Amino acid sequence: MSAPHVFDAAIGLQAQADGTFTGQTSPAYANMIGPFGGITAAQVLNAVLQHPDRLGEPVALTVNFAGPVADGPFTIRPRAARTNRSTQHWTVELLQGDEVLVTATVFTAVRRETWAGHEMRMPQVPRPQDAPITPRHGVEWLQRYEMRFLEGHIPSKWDGAERDDSLTRLWVRDHPPRPLDYPALTGLADIFFPRIWLRRAKFVPIGTVSMTVYYHADAAQLAATGDGHLLVQAQGQGFGGGYFDHAGQLWNERGTLLATTHQVVYYKE
Amino acid sequence: MSAPHVFDAAIGLQAQADGTFTGQTSPAYANMIGPFGGITAAQVLNAVLQHPDRLGEPVALTVNFAGPVADGPFTIRPRAARTNRSTQHWTVELLQGDEVLVTATVFTAVRRETWAGHEMRMPQVPRPQDAPITPRHGVEWLQRYEMRFLEGHIPSKWDGAERDDSLTRLWVRDHPPRPLDYPALTGLADIFFPRIWLRRAKFVPIGTVSMTVYYHADAAQLAATGDGHLLVQAQGQGFGGGYFDHAGQLWNERGTLLATTHQVVYYKE
């Protein structure tokens, strides 16, 4: 029996008799302070996926980072606010003691075959095997992803040289590679370093306050993606009054749009 | 004393002793079945704004349309899940009887002066006075907005002629004009007809399941906008398995980015 993948160990939850789940922050996904937000989002989604009443696959997730998650145990409390014939609306809270640190909503649905035609197309970029792995230093969670930056890398000099655009594109996958599923896709939707750093070449304190993921991949498309690379991109939209937002997209190597994502991020100064 | 603006009448709420608010759907904002989603979103936001414990201005709103709101009275139940020094995370439910029809999360914050530089710029378009008002027929809520379409109008023929892109741009404001505030901005973020209709020129049944708005405007920018027009645009991203999403932006006439928005929409066939 081989040890579980580090990602599976990190998102592992224990179902409790009262319908809640308990888990633990993972040192493997540590951020500067507390855990990487993407792993927290994956844990929140996983609680819904593990819930015995869950209907269908995730279509939309919004996670609000309300307070700092401390290293250690936590409880996730998912609740089906409404169940329709083939869709379900969940509200979720993550707590440590009686403190609410995350609020979230998840929409799941039994998908049906319909007309399809993704409009947001994968840009023309080098294949992953032609793009070298980008060495990355710093916080621990970065080592859990293999990243091949194509455009908009984190500034090499923090010299305050401002730029007009913050588009970042890279190939990324779990490290070591792991077959894609919804929790992994959720973590990958949060791997973008803050757009404000790229715009300003200044290392200002930041923190994501809310992230949304829309899942376009069904189970077959996840399976077809396997442990291949995803091309992901994000670009900032508005920056002011202490908050900026970005919009992003994630495709697999075949060019299938798997998810879109948005987040709003606090910054200081 | 003049009568209140139709929008103010529609979003009016009565505070109850238990911290909830009661309201009524407005025939003036009726959709095909039940109310226009944008007015429901504005009511949900308004409940947080009216709450005596509310801290700061809205930065992020996610509204999930969980079930059909019936014409008539409703209750909105806002709860401050967490209050920090200058930020606050709200969870909100809208109910009729004991049925949850909307779930939402709202993030509010006391904004601070920081570096600013919106990256998503207003496209070059004719001024509103040079764009004729677009006559619109159909559901009642359409008459509550003055719309001047520039690009991507609703198909004039439902002939099934498919197109590759679903970009829509228009000037829009409340009708009659009304000074902009956060609830009105929220309603305006939902005025886009479904992108799937534009892609397919086919009148398939649809329903928004989740909408997010990130507010970039502070109170001074809202005041500067007054009752002027907003340039708004939206474009679809992924379409398949019964759901599509779009991303959109809203600017005032001066070209200030006021908000960005995303939504995921159910469609049949």
| Tens digit of each residue's pLDDT (9 = 90 or more) over A91-147 | 999 999 999 999 999 999 999 999 999 999 999 999 999 999 999 888 999 999 999
Q: State the average pLDDT over residues B226-244.
A: 98
CA atoms of B149 and A147, how far apart (whole Å) = 42
Q: Examine residue B123 and state whether it is found in any structural domain, yes or no.
A: no
Domain that holds residue B152: 6-110+131-267
Q: What is the pLDDT of residue B1?
A: 63
Q: CA B49, CA B55: separation in Å to the nearest integer?
A: 9
User: Taking Cα atoms as reference points, which of B192, B198, B199, B206 lies closest to residue B243?
Assistant: B206
Residue B266 φ/ψ, nearest 5 degrees:
-75, 140
The residue whose two tokens read 């993606």 is A225
Q: Residue B264 is which amino acid? A: V
Whether pTM > 0.90 for this model: the answer is yes
Question: How high is the pLDDT of residue A136?
Answer: 86
Is A83 in the B-facing interface, judged by CB distances under 8 Å?
no
Residues 1 through 60 of chain B touching chain A, CB cutoff 8 Å: 59-60
Largest separation between any pair of C-alpha atoms in chain A: 56
Does residue B210 have a pLDDT over 80?
A: yes
Which of A94, A239, A246, A256 is the best residue to mutate to test the B interface, defined by the most B CB atoms within 10 Å of its own CB? A239
Token pair of B201, please?
A: 């020129």
Q: Give me the mean pLDDT over the B182-188 stretch.
A: 98
Residue of B nearest to A117 (CA): B239
What distance, in Å, lies between the first and last C-alpha atoms of chain A?
Answer: 51
Q: Mapping DSSP to helix (H, G, I), strand (E, B) and coil, where does residue B254 land?
A: coil
Nearest alpha-carbon partner for B214 in B109, B86, B67? B109
Quote the minimal CA–CA distance from A17 to chain B in Å.
24
Mean per-residue pLDDT of chain B? 97
Within 8 A by CB and 6+ apart from A253, the residues are A127, A128, A225, A228, A229, A230, A231
CA distance B13 to chain A (A): 23
- Please report, for the domain that includes residue B95, its CATH number: 2.40.160.210
- Specify the pLDDT at position B2: 81
Alpha helices in chain B (DSSP H): 6-11, 37-50, 182-188, 195-200, 219-225
Find the mean pLDDT for residues B178-200. 98
Q: Contact A214/B262, CB-based, under 8 Å?
A: yes
pLDDT surpassing 90 at residue B102: yes
For residue B121, pLDDT over 90 is answered with yes
Judge whether residue A1 has pLDDT over 80.
Answer: no
CB neighbours of A231 closer than 8 A, spacing ≥ 6? A122, A123, A125, A169, A170, A171, A250, A251, A252, A253
CB B24 within 8 A of CB B72: yes
The beta strand positions in B31-120, using DSSP E, are 57-65, 73-83, 87-96, 99-109
Q: Tell me what the mean pLDDT of segment A22-40 comes to.
A: 97
Contacts of A82 in chain B (CB under 8 A): 66-67, 99-101, 103
**Which residues in A lie closer than 8 A to residue B109 (C-beta atoms)?**
209, 242-243, 266
Is the Cβ pair B242, A109 closer than 8 Å?
A: yes
Residues A257-269: tens digit of each pLDDT: 999 999 999 999 9
Tokens 């081989």: give the residue. A2
Q: Which amino acid is at B121?
A: R
Furthest-apart CA atoms within chain B: distance in Å:
56
Q: Per the structure, how many domains does chain A have?
A: 1
Q: Do B247 and A260 touch (CB under 8 A)?
A: yes
Chain centroid, CA B49 distance in Å:
16
Is B49 part of a structural domain of the chain? yes
pLDDT score for B136:
86
Strands (E), A84-125: 87-96, 99-109
Band of pLDDT at residue A2, cut at 50, 70 and 90: confident
Is A124 within a domain?
Answer: no
Domain membership of residue B116 (yes or no) is: no
Which tens digit of pLDDT belongs to each residue from B23-44? 999 999 999 999 999 999 999 9
Q: Is residue A21 left, alpha or beta, with left meaning phi > 0 and alpha meaning psi from -120 to 50?
A: beta
**B118 in any annotated domain:** no
Residue A121 inside a domain? The answer is no
Does A153 reside within a domain?
A: yes
From B5's Cα to the closest Cα of chain A, the distance in A is 30
- Burial (CB < 10 A; 0-12, 13-18, 19+), residue A184, is buried
Q: E-strand spans in A190-255?
A: 206-215, 230-240, 243-252
Residue A216 clears pLDDT 70, i.e. is over it: yes
Residue B190 in domain: yes
Chain B residues touching A112 at Cβ < 8 A? 241-242
CB contact under 8 A, A64 and B105: yes
Q: Which residues of B166-200 are buried (b: 16+ CB within 10 A; e: fewer)?
A: bbbbbbbbbeeebebbbbbbbbbbbbbbbbbbbbb
